[in-house]
Structure 1
Amino acid sequence: MKFRFLAPLLALTISACSMVPSEPQAPTPATPVTPAPDTAVSLSAERAARQFVNVVKTVEPVAEAECRARTSGMNCDFNIVVDDRPGQAPNAFQTLDKAGRPVLAFNIPLIATVRNADELAFVMGHEASHHIESHIARQQRNATAGAVILGSIAAITGGGDQIVQSAQEVGATLGARSYSKDFELEADRLGTVITHKAGYDPVRGAAFFTRIADPGNTFLGTHPPNAARIETVRQTAATLK
């Protein structure tokens, strides 16, 4: 396991999980507010960094062991990176490098947003689970199948090359999204197991969902409702006690 900063954008296939908090904005003050001293800001950043490093040290070995126990021939050597590109909303994602090694990326706003180590551990376990469950490969297969199906329908009904190409693109999008909600819940379940085995509280960690935008149960949405995810974590955690 290596730990480094992610400077350039990874031009790779990504299994992204949006983690954008939806806390209410504070009202504009009527009078100027004195900024906190720089020392307070740096201490907060230092605590966040220390917490992240500690969680990486405890969760990564558990995720790797779980990966090796549940798969055969899969690269389970997770590379944990910090995405330090500016101007991003809090986010974490799982991807693969050019050699097929699993990469778990966490940007700085997410590292600073989590309220405790349990939340960070759960997010890390969730992202690792996307790799263990082969979600990128499964999503690619679904996208390919969707492109073939809609492209073939367009061709059979007499569509020209442009129409067929457009149909393939739409089919790929629909195919990729067709099981995305199931993938997220699968990652929540296995992420709960990894979080628990690493010594953290997955139910407390899943409280992170109460502070991110709820996608609801939208048609072709990529994420399930937050309530369903929290309940999935609770049910899975109950079996681990």
Structure 2
Amino acid sequence: MLFRFLILAALVPLAACQTTTASAPEKASAASFEPLPFRGAASTAGFSTVVARVEPVAERECRRRTRGVNCDYKILVDDRPNQPSNAYQTVDKEGRPLIVFTKALLNEAQNGDEIAFVMGHEAAHHIEGHLQSTQTNAAVGALILSGLVAASGADPSLISNAVDVGAMLGSRTYSKQYELEADRLGTIIAHNAGFDPIRGAVFFQRIPDPGDAFLGTHPPNQDRIRIVHQTARGF
């Protein structure tokens, strides 16, 4: 009974923290998004200018660090109403990497360095293979937890729920590590594109701090700022 109680407790939904740079859990259709001119506080640099400078650098880093990976990034703005401040990396149905910004994030950015840093961060997720790794971790977690629940004699409904919980637990196993890896490489990409990643990382000082939450998807903001400064010292 204790084992069954623990599984049921695990099925209680966990509170989600607000994030600003996260990999999308599902593939997005490019048809759902419209490229827009940048109209936020960083309009002096211009969103299109940031894209023009960062995209080729990200693609060059991608080709240099990977083999057999599609490095032809497409940068998009999600203009659907009421979307939260966010940016994420995903792929389209052909496997082309997409970096998607919501309008809310662009409107909150204060300069081109912040946009360049976020763009470099999302490009880094693709280069590091984090989306694929997260999907694999989710599949393994679902298999393990559902297997344990099934072995306990649980009914099919509980086993089905265990698949979902296991996938969630698996997907978060290394998520904080992946974010810090993307911050490190994103710092390099932004710098090589001629932007200031330290100035760009000031963005973290204005967003909610997730802290070091158990099963959280993102590390504390201070840890992220620290790795940006550590990486930048090598330039």
Give TM-score, length-normalised by structure 1. Answer: 0.80
Match of 1:48, SS state, is: coil
Which runs of structure 2 are paired with 1:107-118 in the superposition (5 Å)?
A: 107-118=102-113
Distance 1:170 1:221 in 2: 14
Please report how far the alpha carbon of residue 47 of structure 1 lies from its aligned counterpart in structure 2 after TM superposition: 6.3
Distance 1:209 1:85 in 2: 24
Q: Report % sequence identity.
A: 54
Give TM-score, length-normalised by structure 2. Answer: 0.82
Which residue number corresponds to residue 91 of structure 1?
86
Q: Indicate conservation of the 8 Å contact 1:48/1:111, yes or no.
A: no
Distance 2:80 2:44 in 1: 16
Which residue number corresponds to residue 210 of structure 2?
215
**One-letter amino acid of the structure 1 residue matched with residue 134 of structure 2:** Q
Offset from partner CA, 1:40-71 (integer Å, 9 cap, x none): xxx96596286111000000000000000000
**Is the aligned partner of 1:146 residue 2:141?**
yes
**One-letter amino acid of the structure 2 residue matched with residue 211 of structure 1:** R
Which residue number corresponds to residue 63 of structure 1?
58
Which runs of structure 2 are paired with 1:9-48 in the superposition (5 Å)?
A: 18-19=19-20, 48=43
**One-letter amino acid of the structure 2 residue matched with residue 102 of structure 1:** P
Distance 2:190 2:41 in 1: 23
Runs of 4+ in structure 1 deviating by more than 3 angstroms, as ranges, are: 43-47
Structure with max Cα Rg: 1
Q: Indicate conservation of the 8 Å contact 2:210/2:216, yes or no.
A: yes
Please report how far the alpha carbon of residue 149 of structure 1 lies from its aligned counterpart in structure 2 after TM superposition: 0.6
Distance 2:203 2:188 in 1: 17
Distance 1:137 1:211 in 2: 30
Distance 1:212 1:48 in 2: 20
Please report how far the alpha carbon of residue 157 of structure 1 lies from its aligned counterpart in structure 2 after TM superposition: 1.3
Offset from partner CA, 1:212-240 (integer Å, 9 cap, x none): 00000000000000000000100011112
Distance 1:48 1:87 in 2: 21
* CA RMSD between the two structures: 1.9
Q: Indicate conservation of the 8 Å contact 1:49/1:111, yes or no.
A: no
**Is the aligned partner of 1:101 residue 2:101?**
no
**One-letter amino acid of the structure 2 residue matched with residue 227 of structure 1:** Q
> Do the aligned partners of residues 59 and 181 (structure 1) sit closer, same or farther apart at CA in structure 2, a change above 3 Å counting?
same
Please report how far the alpha carbon of residue 18 of structure 1 lies from its aligned counterpart in structure 2 after TM superposition: 2.4
> Do the aligned partners of residues 45 and 115 (structure 1) sit closer, same or farther apart at CA in structure 2, a change above 3 Å counting?
closer
Corresponding residue to 2:227 among 214, 232, 237: 232
